[in-house]
Structure 1
Amino acid sequence: MSIDFESRKEEITKELLAAAETAGFFSLVDHGITVEEINNQFALSKAFFDLPQEVKARIPHSLETNNGWEYKSQIRPSTGVPDQKESFWLQRDSEWPSDEDVLGFSAATKSFISKCEVISKQVLACLSIALGFPEDHLNEAMDVNAPDNLTQMRMIHYMASENAVGTWRAGNHTDVGCLTLLFQRDGEDGLEVCPGRETHTDSSIGDKFSPIPAKTGPIVVNIGDMLMAWSDDRLKANFHRVRAKCEGKSPDRYTIAYFNTGRRNVVMQGPLKK
């Protein structure tokens, strides 16, 4: 996307808006992060999750900052049981694994985060224009250099299971933030989406979920509750889930999510001030 972004901004804006107003999900290609860089980041993620639990637990998940390692701790209201995954939340100034634990983790991951920041700014600039705001309107609320910034990267590992019947890798939910960038790996399917939500306060879920195949390279992007509210419900934050296979073994699934969550002390309102 970033390769010829400036010359195609108007065209890209129309395409993003059409997807954001309906499915609330879209995929980005030619975005400036190579498959090699994505594979390298997944290799670092796997190396971290392969560490003994006592080593990962040196950076425990903090309820105050939401950073750190967590294990089967997220319970969705839609299921009432823990998601079958572990994850590692990171921000620029959070605690990082040492090179002794995962060689090169900090330097490579910070570079990867910087590239996610660039892509996010481009998408948010397009959506700002589409909503009738100045181009930098949404990005001012996302400023990652501000001390009250809440944007995070989350590395996720859904553990393999021999019999996943009755379990959920991630139950039905919407993302609470503004905009999510999701990286997946070839063959590690499971993500399903359900369009049809009308308002950001609507908790009803439709009955038709559609799978989004996992591919290395394209970035799956979705609207969060925050942006749905800021757009007066025009852009849709739709429900999605990660489903295990109904029969047989569900293999490991690794994903990397970049959550544009906004700044704690910024108040935003939609064009209609709804």
Structure 2
Amino acid sequence: MANFGVAAKYDRTKEVEEFDNSKAGVKGLVDAGVNTIPRLFHHPGAVSSPASPSSNPSLSIPTVDLSLPRARVIELASAAAREWGFFRLVNHGVPREAISAALSAAQAFNELPAEAKAGYYSRKVGGKVTYNSNFDLYHSDVASWRDTLQVVTGAPTPLDAEQIPEVCRRELLEWDEHALGVAKRVLGLLSEGLGVESGRLEENKCLELRVLVSHYYPYCPQPELTLGHDGHTDVVVLTVLVTNEVEGLMVKKEGSHGEWVMVEPVPGSIIVNVGDTLQMISNDEYKSVEHKVAANPHKKARVSIAAFYSPPSHLDSVHYGPLPELISQAKPARYREFTMAEAMGIFASKKLVTKSLINHFRI
């Protein structure tokens, strides 16, 4: 294991390269017994511990009960998407065992010996299955305390399931199907909440590109110095997220005067958040949500699986922007049209920041 300590004259490039070349990720540092985290992980303004649930009732995370009458569910989901861009689903019909199995399998992969994971470690753009630590390691200002396994399950080319590590293959593929069912259901509800037909957003290929991103947040010996994930909004249309019982996720409601709200883990629930692309397609009716993850101070790892959905970027002839039905003289289009290739190019060229697409395409 290389020495990642702080030298008298700090050389970030060297430290990044040594860390990346080890292919052991943050878990490798923990396994090596580090008590002082490398400087490349030092976050200005990091929090010492996750924020407590807010006592302000207006900052309570919305919950949408899918067992309620459809009209009421549409009302709740669309209100949450407008006011928060974030909500928790309960009574969604997905077996709790399927959620637990997927999270346990993802954890099992990350806790394999470093040499067993090294063959999957890659920064290849366009790879269907990749494992690494911090996808933006080389162009971000600071790294976050997490490792990630990413599986592209839909569009533009089919996934060869044999590429997925065997220890989590079956469980992740099963979760991909469950999560897609949830995403279709939610997108239908949100479509109707905009006053258009339930299939309107799905017809726009908003669910065609599917990416499973499993983040693994191991114990951090100095959580006050870093973050598990820096603050950002998702660039996609929709994110469907499940986590284990270890807390850490925080969201910031637009207009809440900068107050971060702790998202309490609720076993068996599913979290949905609106991405930048849906905010633009909805012409600002729905809002993408800024969120971050505190570094994990617990010995038990925090594990999450985010399923990201968006139109594919290979269709250069297809343009996106506010739905025509949502544009009027009273509320003109607030974004110019764009292709997903252009949107993903903007995302790839910028650091992971809040509403990077929103700011770029706004008229």
- Smaller-chain TM-score range? 0.7 to 0.9
Distance 2:312 2:204 in 1: 6
User: Residues 207 and 75 of structure 1: is their aligned pair in 2 closer, same or farther, counting only changes over 3 Å?
Assistant: farther
The CA distance in 2 between the partners of 1:256 and 1:189, in whole Å, is 14
Mapped partners of 1:36, 1:127: distance in 2 = 27
Q: What's the TM-score, normalizing by structure 2?
A: 0.64
1:239 deviates by 1.0
Contact 1:191 1:212 (C-alpha < 8 Å) held by counterparts: yes
Contact in 1 for aligned 2:234/2:275 (Cα 8 Å): yes
Moved over 4 A (4+): 1-5, 95-99, 248-251
Larger relative contact order (Cα-Cα within 8 Å, sequence gap ≥ 6): 1
2:301 is matched with which residue: 238, 245, 252?
A: 252
Instruction: Point out where structure 2 has 5 or more consecutive residues left out of the alignment.
Output: 1-63, 328-332, 335-363
In structure 1, the gaps of 5 or more residues are 198-204
State the TM-score, normalizing by the size of structure 1.
0.83
Larger radius of gyration: 2
* 2:320 is aligned with 1:268: yes
From 146, 154, 170, the counterpart of 2:213: 154
SS of the equivalent of 2:305 reads strand
- What does residue range 143-222 of structure 1 map to in structure 2 within 5 Å? 149-186=208-245, 188-196=246-254, 206-222=257-273
Equivalent residue of 2:83, what SS? coil
Residue 119 of structure 1 is aligned with which of 178, 182, 185? 182
Alpha-carbon deviation of 1:150?
A: 2.4
CA contact (8 A) 1:76 1:173 kept: no
Give the superposition deviation at 1:24: 1.1
Cα shift readout 1:77-101 (whole Å, capped 9, x = no counterpart) = 9x821121111111233455679x6
Moved more, 108-117 or 219-228: 108-117
> Which amino acid in structure 1 is aligned with residue 304 of structure 2?
T
Whether the aligned pair in 2 keeps the contact of 1:163 and 1:250 (CA below 8 Å) is no
Name the counterpart of 2:275: 224
- Aligned partners of 1:24 and 1:223 also within 8 Å: yes
Q: Contact conserved, 2:148 with 2:216, CA < 8 A, in 1? A: yes
SS of 2:84's equivalent?
coil
Kindly report the root-mean-square deviation, in angstroms, between the aligned alpha carbons of the 2 structures: 2.7
SS at match of 1:117: helix
Among all aligned residue pairs of Structure 1 and Structure 2, give the percentage whose two residues are the same amino acid. 24
Q: Which of 126, 139, 143 is the matching residue for 1:64?
A: 126
